[in-house]
Amino acid sequence: MSKTQNSYLPEDILIPFFGLEKQIVGVEIGTLGGSGTVAMLNRMLNLKLYTIDPWLHIDGKNFEAERDQDYHDVNYRETLKRVAEFGDRCVVIHKTSMDAFNDVKELVDFVHIDGSHDEVDVRNDIVNWKKKLKERSILGGHDWQIDYIKKIVREELGEPFTGEDLVWWFEYNK
């Protein structure tokens, strides 16, 4: 299988860091149609995943947010179908990442940010979701090719690891 957004993160970052035995909890910000969600859950049988997306058309936003509401409704329904087989290992939260923050009651092992690509939202996701991380954890995201994402990540966190498919991440071993 070629490396893609949907296979790179779990296969090459999370599994070597956490292994396949330890029970872990993760947050995926930005679900779209759930293919990345399913890839992580299939490869990591030890994973409980909160996947968060508002599935909402927003005027003036870039990337998928600018698509019409029907597009988002189809992706939401597709996500629910795709993750049904995972039962309580997958918690689908139909909200913005900031509105979903308090829905995740536990500390998490990783957060992967690939939701709103708005500069304010990216910064808020980094600053706020970092507070949910356990002592040994990973905070990362996608779209390293976008200059303002590089700028925000470097300002808030420093210089990340980067990998294939424009993924960036930090490993915390406090």
Digit-coded pLDDT (tens) for 70-119:
888 899 999 999 999 999 999 999 999 999 999 999 999 999 999 888 89
Helix (H) or strand (E) holding 52, with range, is strand 47-52
Digit-coded pLDDT (tens) for 38-63:
999 999 999 999 999 999 877 766 66
Tell me what pLDDT residue 19 has: 92
Q: What is the mean pLDDT of residues 12-29?
A: 93
Of 16-20, 50-54, 153-157, where does mean pLDDT reach its minimum? 16-20
Tell me what pLDDT residue 84 has: 98
Domains of the chain: 5-173 (3.40.50.150)
Tell me what pLDDT residue 63 has: 67
Task: Compute the distance between CA of residue 55 and CA of residue 37 in angstroms, rounded to an integer.
Answer: 15
Angle between helices 69-83 and 35-43 (to 10 degrees): 20
Task: Tell me if residue 172 falls in helix, strand or coil.
Answer: strand
**Does the pLDDT of residue 4 top 60, yes or no?**
no
Question: Across all residues in the chain, what is the average pLDDT?
Answer: 90
Task: Give the HSE-up count for residue 48: Cα atoms under 13 Å, Cβ half-sphere.
Answer: 12
Cβ(139)–Cβ(130) below 8 Å: yes
Cβ(131)–Cβ(164) below 8 Å: no
Tell me what pLDDT residue 164 has: 81
Cβ(143)–Cβ(126) below 8 Å: no
Helix (H) or strand (E) holding 168, with range, is strand 168-173
Task: Compute the distance between CA of residue 165 and CA of residue 113 in angstroms, rounded to an integer.
Answer: 14
In the block, which residue shows the tokens 């309580």?
A: 88
Confidence at 12, pLDDT banded by 50, 70, 90: confident
**Does the pLDDT of residue 6 top 60, yes or no?**
no
pTM of the model: 0.91
